[in-house]
Amino acid sequence: MFYFKQMDDSNIISVESKTVNVPSLNFIEATKEEYDGYIASLPEPPEPPEPRDFGAEIDEIKAKLIVSEPGTGEVKITNLTYNPTTKEIHHRETP
């Protein structure tokens, strides 16, 4: 295995390992110890987000777009507003 590092001044900013002795652009030869040390210094990856049910979310948005008035036969289109802080969608009826 061949190991390479990318440097910024005297700091390693990226590493790569390959089965061929061909470094990527701006990479230089590194030792296995430098490679392993850099990989060990990386933070743990974040937890993946909870899976979303996009079908249900789309159905919820559709339900907020068109509001039927029971018994009147009238349909009102609504204006959606999104609150990025609470991540909630609200609707306001148009006259």
Specify which residues 66 forms β-bridges with: 77
Contact 1, 21 (CB under 8 A): no
**Reading across the β-sheet that carries 11-18, which strands appear in turn?**
11-18, 2-8, 28-29
Write out pLDDT tens, residues 10-52: 999 999 999 999 999 999 999 999 999 999 999 999 999 999 8
Residue with tokens 């204006």: 79
Query: How far is it, in rounded angstroms, from Cα 59 to Cα 36?
Result: 48
Could you tell me the pTM of the whole model? 0.51
